[in-house]
Structure 1
């Protein structure tokens, strides 16, 4: 899975860290998730215990978007075969080739014209559905940018500006999505509302802490409505002056949740990745400790805390005695103040590297294969990675973790993985 893994795995601890990451990413893949949670028996489709009578519908279509949307569509084609009568999903980089569902490409992490045209096509297909159509909505992380349907009075440039501003300010995803829902025709349940009266079954790959369907991809199948006042409060909190967005939100009345026929099922999340990584660790004879699947906040601070936990484990055996693997998930953020290149996982491991105990190894990746806006998935470090602490501090100050780690052969590359369940972090204490 990882490029140059034979070089990176230069000790048993390095090899174990890479194997835990690979197992976690594989377990969170839509193909594996559909195999675990979905089945067809005769004319009955079962998703996580809920049954749907396929014979009650004239047609079945797949609509949606996100980094894993094409793999979700392909997995449902394998499951349902010729029962699927078409559809369209939007992703940023194709990793699957369904034959019955069209795959369009949009832009991520900020929306572009491809995101707008893709969302319009999805909405057009949804609008054409009727009560005899079963809509399977394939929704995954990244869908907020990839399904971009600007509300009246707004352009894709307006949405790009507000998204970039919030990302650079280090705003958490739930706040970003509060703004997105108030500025979009597809978010906050817009896809389900457009498809009505067709019933919608959301099949979600979660990339958010807590797995709230209204937050995943800003909730195209979660009819939450929108709160313009809350969106304005987010803009105020980060001092963003995006005039067109403010003009739309100012004085706009809240939109109440619509009453539509929709059910959402989360079939893959960060918990799946953590559980698979833990299984690998225990099979190798290591004690395994899961800190949390919900770690958020500034990446550098989280990295230093993980290094401290590793040192405690090595010295006292708490919270787990060596040989041990400490695991965590979630989504950290970076407040961009420098001009360098990097992402949250790169900053996480670089900030931790100087304080790791002897022989310990720390790896962290974004499970989609792209750390921030870089082409690396994340990084792998040990106590030898940083031989010049001052240079490491300077790289962090300039948000240039990518360049520093690249110079130490400490970056991890996977390419697009076909899934997206946030960050996965593995600390090995031999």
Structure 2
């Protein structure tokens, strides 16, 4: 029965991935009439009103999104995107730079500079399409004036280690950047900019996705200092970064563009894909496999270990009482958890979830829990996530492994590699956060 549940979990997960296909999402959002009028969602744009068309952007799904634009637009003057290493596919007109993620690198900075080179000096007769997806924050790492890439890398690593949620991480990253927080629109102004966004954040907040390079920024330098103080990260941040944020809070540096700035009259954004769409298709697949199915939420966040315990509690309730679903049951959830790193192991939030769930559900028969990132990557590993059942810990202990020790050291990857319960998909070319499953036989 365990093997059947594993196979079903992968079938449901892949159905969710199919719903988040970036190329298809962009193609569905665009329609070009014979008269040259492009429909972008509910907005109509006459291409005859523009002399040049550019494509820029960043993210793990940047290549398939750009390819959809190449298939749709009659002509692209020039283009430049940045994507994660290993996420490249052939494009005809748009140039590609590969960069580091989740910690930015020099290649990403070169890509950001190339994008700025395209956007500087544009006019009202220019049209820019910007494709944005998860990973864009790390892949557009051009530091603000006075900061270095090494300082941004150190700040990013500190944010990752302390378990800060993506909203707080990106609030700070916007204020350490020369392009994020709406600043890409400032550079391209007065050109018209159309942003096509694949959401990888809870609530689809446009200013958070890839740190909102084309969106007004409601965050401030002062809020950045409050976030750092709350996480007690001051000692882990480079002095130059702290000095930059403090000067900004004192009014000595310009803020990022805010809501109401007239430059955004030339900027329009459309979300083409999200976690919710992925969960709906995964739900339909589960129903097709015979499961009584429900979506718990697409907005799950918090510490991965805590979220795992809640999911295990739901699994036990179904087994004991048939509430909230009768067996066979499938409960789905989306969103993105965090991990406060305390050990020196190797892992990611999905594998951390699975290891905590394995401990909580030890000895319980008839249930499988699964968690994986829709981008195919969980932390700095080659795995998307992992699955577990009531026998995972017993099998591990028979191999001489202590699940509690691996969890304490944040070493979930090596634990599941030994138990052979990793989920490995390779790059999926998309990213709509994580997908979790509870399957009850």
TM bracket, shorter-chain basis: over 0.9
SS across alignment from 1:184: coil
Which residue of 61, 75, 81 maps to 1:83? 75
Mapping 1:31-110, distance limit 5 Å:
31-42=23-34, 43-80=36-73, 82-93=74-85, 94-110=87-103
Which residue of 111, 119, 126 maps to 1:126? 119
Shift of 1:187: 0.5
Q: Distance in 1 between matches of 2:241 and 2:360?
A: 44
1:400 has 2:411 as partner? yes
Mapping 1:238-277, distance limit 5 Å:
238-240=231-233, 241=235, 242=237, 243-252=239-248, 253=251, 254-257=255-258, 258-260=261-263, 261-277=266-282
1:20 aligns with 12
Does the Cα contact within 8 Å between 2:181 and 2:257 map onto a contact in 1?
Answer: no
Does the Cα contact within 8 Å between 2:181 and 2:256 map onto a contact in 1?
Answer: no
1:227 has 2:234 as partner? no
Q: Distance in 1 between matches of 2:72 and 2:318?
A: 45
| C-alpha distance 324-226 of structure 1, shift in aligned 2 (>3 A) | closer
2:158 aligns with 165
Q: Distance in 2 between matches of 1:44 and 1:53?
A: 4
2:426 aligns with 415
1:363 has 2:370 as partner? yes
Does the Cα contact within 8 Å between 1:188 and 1:224 map onto a contact in 2?
Answer: yes
1:350 aligns with 355
Q: TM-score, normalised by structure 2?
A: 0.92
Shift of 1:194: 0.5
2:297 aligns with 292
1:380 has 2:387 as partner? yes
Does the Cα contact within 8 Å between 1:148 and 1:156 map onto a contact in 2?
Answer: yes
Structure 2 residue ranges without an equivalent (≥5): none
SS across alignment from 1:152: coil
The 10-residue stretch of structure 1 (92-101 or 302-311) with the greater mean CA deviation from structure 2: 92-101
Shift of 1:183: 1.0
Mapping 1:329-348, distance limit 5 Å:
329-348=334-353
| C-alpha distance 120-346 of structure 1, shift in aligned 2 (>3 A) | same
Does the Cα contact within 8 Å between 1:138 and 1:203 map onto a contact in 2?
Answer: yes
Which residue of 287, 290, 295 maps to 1:282? 287
Shift of 1:38: 2.1
Equivalences, count: 421
| C-alpha distance 57-411 of structure 1, shift in aligned 2 (>3 A) | same
Does the Cα contact within 8 Å between 1:328 and 1:424 map onto a contact in 2?
Answer: yes
